[in-house]
Structure 1
Amino acid sequence: MSSPMRDSVLLIDDEVLVRRGFRHALEEAGDIAVVGEACHATDGLRLAQRHRPRVAITADVTALAPLRSCVTGGVIALAVDGNDEQLHRVLTDGARGFLLKRASHEELLAAVRAVARGHAYLCAEVTGRLLDRFEILPPPEEVDRGLGLLSERERQVLARMARGRSNDEIARELYLTCATVKSHVSHILAKLGQPNRMHAALFAQRLGLLSRTG
């Protein structure tokens, strides 16, 4: 029986320790394979053209636009901080994800899995700032009331939505049917007063549900 296909990732960063830490976290996950590493954009593009990875993670913003044509999923931009000007630039250049170099391994894996499946992913710090600015979150008393209405299973589903999991993946992880997962998602949106799946996922990231739910 053949082994399941793993998402392929290319790392581009001039800091060896960052690449080493990311590689370790990604390969330990089991469903992700690092197909190459590079210090600079030139070498990174060459490797991307050779391996055609699902996802490329780069700290070199000059590589964003050319990398887009070499990956089958998307590109995640890395940064030391998440200022608005930098975020605007990388998103304009076609990044599908944005992470800080100090991102936790959990957040790194969530970003790669989300982008590999065609979704966008912004790190929790940036997401929180955007949510505050556009007032996507309801008042604190409504947040507490909404979370209190969720069952333990619904919290588990919501946390996986925030990690970029599809309904099929959530069903496999929680040993549920896809129909049951869809039902949970509908109940979650209604209880939290969120208009769609993306808003609910951002809601969960903002509240730190990823670190509190298995």
Structure 2
Amino acid sequence: MPVSVLLIDDEVLVRQGFRNALEETADVVVVGEASRAAEGLCLARRHQPEVVLTADVTDLPRLRTCVTGGVIVLAWECTDERLHRVLTAGARGLLLKRASREELVAAVRAVAQGHAHLGAEVAGRLLDRFEILPPPEEADRGLGLLSDRERQVLVRIARGRSNDEIARELYLTCATVKSHVSHILAKLGQPNRMHAALLAQRLGLLTRAG
């Protein structure tokens, strides 16, 4: 079944662009669109979409109760205040309106599966905010050290998978996955899997992985 999406944005051209991009994707269907949160809430209650893309966060807590997957907030820019506000309100992601079609689709798919997703620029801001982003040449060098299997594990870490889920998806033991995670963190020079996940998003691994 295709992922059902509801769009809420007061800019007609933005809604139109996102609808066109999503409707070019075989496993995504747009079930409705609205210009205001109140109208969007009514549509969400009616359609029970898996994902809502919204630029209006005034009624986000109630909107969340009508969505089976999660809410992705849309913005032209990401400030520390806005990022904190939308995440503490329960959004599963924040995506800039200038995001590429590939990034948009990756975000929708991830959130529909119950995972969180931050757009590449948003993840980059978060990384910079906490000063955990290595220089570009160092990050590329670290990625180059990863084996194909380690890259597969890293992509799944970035999608919010647990070690058990990764083990099932890749037909590995949990002990093997833990070993891969340790090697990934060492090669990327990251302190934990959250930082590694943010780095993977910043470097576009999710988009490249499809």
- Give the TM-score band, short-chain normalised: 0.7 to 0.9
* Equivalence for 1:101: 97
Q: Please tell me whether the aligned partners of residues 9 and 36 of structure 1 are also in contact (alpha carbons under 8 angstroms).
A: yes
1:90 and 2:86 matched: yes
User: Aligned to 2:58, what secondary structure does the other structure show?
Assistant: helix
Residue identity over aligned pairs, in percent, reads: 73
Shift of 1:25: 1.7
Q: Please tell me whether the aligned partners of residues 106 and 206 of structure 2 are also in contact (alpha carbons under 8 angstroms).
A: no
Deviations 1:115-173 (A, max 9, x none): 212222222222112112212234556434422212356446645654x38599999xx
Q: Please tell me whether the aligned partners of residues 8 and 36 of structure 2 are also in contact (alpha carbons under 8 angstroms).
A: yes
Q: Please tell me whether the aligned partners of residues 106 and 207 of structure 2 are also in contact (alpha carbons under 8 angstroms).
A: no
Deviations 1:97-124 (A, max 9, x none): 1111111111111211222122222222
Q: Please tell me whether the aligned partners of residues 73 and 117 of structure 1 are also in contact (alpha carbons under 8 angstroms).
A: yes
Alignment map for 1:5-24 (pairs within 5 Å): 5-24=1-20
Uncovered stretches (5+) of structure 2, i.e. residues with no partner: none
Structure 2 Cα separation of the partners of residues 56 and 185 of structure 1 = 34
Q: 1:131 to 1:72 in 2, by over 3 A?
A: same
Shift of 1:196: 4.7
Uncovered stretches (5+) of structure 1, i.e. residues with no partner: none
Alignment map for 1:39-188 (pairs within 5 Å): 39-138=35-134, 142-151=138-147, 154-155=150-151, 158-159=154-155, 162=158, 164=159, 177-179=170-172, 183=177, 186=181, 187-188=183-184
After TM superposition, the score normalised by the length of structure 2 is 0.80
Alignment map for 1:20-31 (pairs within 5 Å): 20-31=16-27
* Equivalence for 1:36: 32
Q: 1:55 to 1:213 in 2, by over 3 A?
A: closer
After TM superposition, the score normalised by the length of structure 1 is 0.79
Q: CA RMSD in A?
A: 3.1
